[in-house]
């Protein structure tokens, strides 16, 4: 059994997109170590509701690290101090008795705050809609291994496809750049024969959308890959650059 801990929680509260926000402080008592971070917020919200106060608004859905909704910036890290894990996979045993835990929303011009800790991440959907799909007819389900794909290539494509579109890379980036996300989406297709057909069109469309939406220019600081809950590598960014430069050279 994990020990129970008591700590101070500083949470960003903001009534709406235009409202001025501020931190509010809450004292949390005797929270068991095996409580997840989001369950801890549930406990707090229940208290707030019982006291007739507005509960804290935060995004969440699957609570098992696959939907990418739980966009919380905890103690200076997107998804908190754990590596390779989302906020919903973060447990209170990571923190010590008497700690002060600061919770902020993603802060980037591309992800405006909707309320409290919830931000608007439709920009990612727009980038995805610009080309993150295969639109050719690939026919019916082929026999297994009818199209041979090298093990290492398949692995790299799978690693890129692990991206859950959570936006931690943008939240971590001092340049507000979405390159890690876009490069993962470009790579998962560019590596495979079904995706190669439209690779040039795709990379140009997705980069153009990313730029149009005002995301920054990547300067390779590597903060994104350090904070990515799915450990997506910046080698994908090199591939994106390569694909983009090749496509533009062809024009």
Partner 1 sequence: MWLFNSSVGRKVVMSVSGIALVLFLLFHMSMNLVAIFSTEGYNMICEFLGANWYALVGTAGLAALVVVHFVYAFMLTIQNRKARGSQRYAVVEKPKNVSWASQNMLVLGIIVILGLGLHLFNFWANMQLPEVLHKLGMHVEDAVMADVANGSGYIAKTFTCPVYAALYTVWLAALWFHLTHGFWSAIQTLGVNNKVWFCRWKAIGNVIVTLIILGFFAVVVAGYFGLGALGTIEVAAPAACCAPCC
Residue 92 burial by CB count (10 A; 0-12/13-18/19+): exposed, middle or buried?
Answer: buried
Q: Which stretch binds partner 1 (CB under 8 A): 46-54, 55-63, 142-150, 229-237?
A: 229-237
- Only segment of 27-35, 41-49, 64-72, 214-222 that touches ligand HEM (CB under 6 A): 214-222
Burial class (CB in 10 A: 0-12, 13-18, 19+), 177: buried
Residue 175's binding partner among ligand FES, partner 1, ligand SF4, none (Cβ under 5 to 8 angstroms by kind) is: partner 1
Which residues lie below 8 Å from residue 207, measured CB to CB, with a gap of 6+?
Answer: 182, 240, 244
- Torsion sign across C-alpha atoms 57, 59, 64, 65: negative
225 binds, among partner 1, ligand HEM, ligand FES, none (CB under 5 to 8 A by kind): partner 1
Q: Check residue 4 for interaction with ligand HEM (CB under 6 A).
A: no
Kindly state whether residue 219 participates in binding ligand HEM, applying the rule CB under 6 A. Answer: yes
Q: Which of 95, 181, 215, 244 binds ligand SF4 (CB under 6 A)?
A: 181
The neighbour count for residue 125, using CB atoms within 10 Å, is 11
List of residues 6+ apart from 247 with CB closer than 8 A: 199, 200, 203, 204
Nearer to ligand FES, 64 or 212 (CB): 64
**Among ligand SF4, ligand FES, ligand HEM, none, what binds residue 219 when CB lies within 5 to 8 Å by partner kind?**
ligand HEM
Tokens at 97, concatenated? 């008795």
**Interface with ligand HEM by CB under 6 A: which residues?**
217, 219-220
């Amino acid at each position: 059994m994990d020990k129970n801990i008591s700590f101070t929680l500083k949470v960003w509260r903001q009534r709406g997109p235009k409202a001025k926000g501020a931190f509010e402080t809450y004292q949390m008592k005797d929270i068991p170590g095996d409580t997840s971070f989001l369950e801890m917020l549930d406990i707090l919200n229940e208290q707030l509701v019982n006291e007739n106060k507005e509960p804290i608004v935060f995004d969440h859905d699957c609570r098992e690290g696959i939907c990418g909704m739980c966009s919380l910036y905890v103690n200076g890290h997107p998804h908190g101090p754990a590596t390779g894990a989302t906020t919903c996979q973060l447990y209170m045993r990571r923190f010590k008795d008497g700690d002060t835990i600061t919770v902020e929303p993603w802060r980037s011009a591309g992800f405006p705050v909707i309320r409290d800790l919830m931000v608007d991440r439709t920009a990612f959907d727009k980038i995805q809609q610009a080309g993150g799909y295969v639109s050719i007819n690939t026919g019916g389900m082929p026999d297994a291994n009818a199209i041979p794909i090298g093990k290492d290539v398949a692995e790299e494509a799978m690693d890129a496809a692990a991206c859950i579109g959570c936006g931690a890379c943008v939240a971590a980036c001092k340049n507000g750049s979405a390159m890690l996300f876009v490069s993962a989406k470009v790579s998962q297709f560019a590596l495979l024969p079904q995706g190669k057909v439209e690779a040039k069109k795709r990379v140009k469309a997705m980069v153009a959308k990313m730029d149009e939406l005002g995301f920054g220019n990547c300067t390779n600081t590597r903060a994104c890959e350090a904070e990515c809950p799915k450990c997506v590598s910046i080698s994908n960014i090199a591939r994106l650059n390569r694909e983009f430069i090749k496509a533009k050279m062809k024009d």
